[in-house]
């Protein structure tokens, strides 16, 4: 019964968000704050999932453009990670999303960037265009560097695209971790805590393509350690509740 009630509530919420959001995007297509607007609405649904969100933002992260690196777990990311999406931020998604009825069109219209990952030359062209947008429009870009959902397997290896883009644009990289959310069960009343933590920026000034692998490995190690710590903290908070 709880599963059905929550599913209906989420469906109604998503429908409302898509209708109102579509109107907003038509009035200001591809505006720099459209994604932030959707993110606030989606993260407001966390209580419907029976989840309490704890969001920690880095005081060292300013208003300058950057590349946000977020871990990608499952479909619940849209209701959890979105709580940390700042203004002036768009996301990078695979081009196939554009073919999803309604969602794909709104995803593009809201200002997000679509990349054709299976076509290397077009992928590099999209990355170059992303660098121009970061510089010209003072935009930040939210990227899931794992490239796919981890589904409880920990932090997967990173793709190199985000690191090439950050170095080419000369902007810092800001890791954003969400603690384990694979335990969420819509048929359970209390699904505990999910902690979202934004780490301090990691500068890329002075780096070039030869530093991509080392930078990726260093950030992956830091994010993996932070994820383990957040998982332990969230589990401890759930046990106390």
For position 241, what pLDDT does the model report? 60
Which ranges of the chain have pLDDT less than 50? none
Structural contact between residues 195 and 234, judged by C-beta atoms closer than 8 angstroms: yes
For position 239, what pLDDT does the model report? 79
Q: Give the count of domains, the chain.
A: 1
For position 207, what pLDDT does the model report? 95
Instruction: Name the DSSP class of 115.
Output: E
Other Cβ atoms within 10 Å of 78 Cβ, number: 14
**In sequence order, what are the beta bridge partners of 195?**
54
For residue 217, what are the domain limits?
A: 2-240
- Say which CATH number the domain at 198 has: 3.40.1130
């Amino acid at each position: 019964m709880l599963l059905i009630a929550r599913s209906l509530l989420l469906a109604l919420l998503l429908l409302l968000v898509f209708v109102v959001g579509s109107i907003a995007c038509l009035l200001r297509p591809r505006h720099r704050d459209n994604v932030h607007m959707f993110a606030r609405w989606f993260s407001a649904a966390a209580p419907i999932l029976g989840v309490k969100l704890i969001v920690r933002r880095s005081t060292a992260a300013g208003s300058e453009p950057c590349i946000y690196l977020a871990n990608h777990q499952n479909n619940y990311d849209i209701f959890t990670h979105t709580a940390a999406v700042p203004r002036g931020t768009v996301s990078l998604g695979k081009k196939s999303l554009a073919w999803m009825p309604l969602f794909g069109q709104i995803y593009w219209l809201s200002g997000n960037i679509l990349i054709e990952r299976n076509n290397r030359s077009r992928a590099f062209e999209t990355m170059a265009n992303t660098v121009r947008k970061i510089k010209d429009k003072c935009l930040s870009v939210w990227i899931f560097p794992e490239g796919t959902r981890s589904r409880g397997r920990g932090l997967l290896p990173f793709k190199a695209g985000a690191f090439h883009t950050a170095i080419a644009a000369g902007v810092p990289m800001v890791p954003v971790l969400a603690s384990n959310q694979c335990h969420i069960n819509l048929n359970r009343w209390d699904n505990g805590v999910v902690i979202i933590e934004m780490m301090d920026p990691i500068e890329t000034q002075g780096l070039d393509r030869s530093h991509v692998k080392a930078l990726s490995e260093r950030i992956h190690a830091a994010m993996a350690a932070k994820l383990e710590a957040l998982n332990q903290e969230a589990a401890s908070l759930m046990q106390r509740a």
